[in-house]
Amino acid sequence: MTENSNIEVAGMSISTQLSSPPSGVRKNRSAVWDHFDVENATEKKAKCKYCGSLIQYGNRTSSMGDHLRRCKQNPNNDSNKRRKITTTPTIDERSVLNSPGASKFDKEEARRALVKIFIREELPFCFVESPKFRIFVHALQARFKVPSQTTLARDIGALYAEEKMKLQDFLSANCGRVCLTTDTWTSIQNFTYMSLTTHFVDLNWKLHKKKYLIFVK
């Protein structure tokens, strides 16, 4: 039910429509009505804007307020906010939790991942024996035994030999020529390094680029 009202502002007459509250609801209505629509004024039923539930409001809105506090779809509900913050994983977390290996521990796979981190980030071997690093790894996976730097160096050498063999097999099977680019420099410790970059086209005419870091005595 609506009624027209004329308002004069600075000599101008503006016609507006004012919405009347539903039958049985006081004009100085409760803020709870911001979350409900009147579904049936005769039967005094209101519809929740979030979940669509019909609530009998009578002459009081306490039942509507109780529903809002329990409504799982209500974004303003503090318990729903806390539940969303504490239980909703991020995209990265979901990918880890849903991965096949999330519930099992593979010692060899963990050792291999550790080796790849040290190679990719160019970390010194002694870092693996850092007490802080070992505490961190133990907190992540107590069953993983962090190797010594001697064992780590041996694992890196084994991975290098494995990848070298794979590359040789790939080059012999997919291409006849490669283009090599080299660059050398000396570190502040007076160690000489050489960077080797290879470009080649495979049998499917796909261009490949691989870069290697070589220590030269």
Residues 12 and 79 in one domain: yes
Residues 28 and 47 in one domain: yes
Residues 166 and 183 in one domain: no
14: which strand partners?
A: 7
- Whether 91 is in a domain gets the answer no
- Whether 54 is in a domain gets the answer yes
The upper half-sphere exposure of residue 80, i.e. CA atoms within 13 Å in the direction of its Cβ, equals 11
Q: How far is CA 16 from CA 7, 56, 75, 97, 104, in A?
A: 8, 31, 32, 56, 67
Residues 113 and 41 in one domain: no
- Picking from 31, 53, 84, the residue at the C-terminal end of a domain is 84
Residues 182 and 210 in one domain: yes
Please state the domain count of the chain.
3
> Which of 65-69, 74-78, 212-216 is the most confident on average?
65-69
Residues 164 and 114 in one domain: yes
Residues 170 and 183 in one domain: no
Report pLDDT for 146.
92
Print the domain residue range for 48: 2-84
- Whether 155 is in a domain gets the answer yes
Residues 127 and 186 in one domain: no
Residues 71 and 31 in one domain: yes
**Which tokens is 84 given?**
């969303």
- Whether 95 is in a domain gets the answer no
Report pLDDT for 54.
87
pTM score, two decimals? 0.45
Q: Nearest Cα to 211, choosing from 197, 200, 199?
A: 197
- Picking from 84, 113, 135, the residue at the C-terminal end of a domain is 84
> Which of 58-67, 74-83, 196-205 is the most confident on average?
196-205
Mean pLDDT of 141-169: 90
What sign does the dihedral 112-117-122-128 (CA atoms) show?
A: negative
- Whether 100 is in a domain gets the answer no
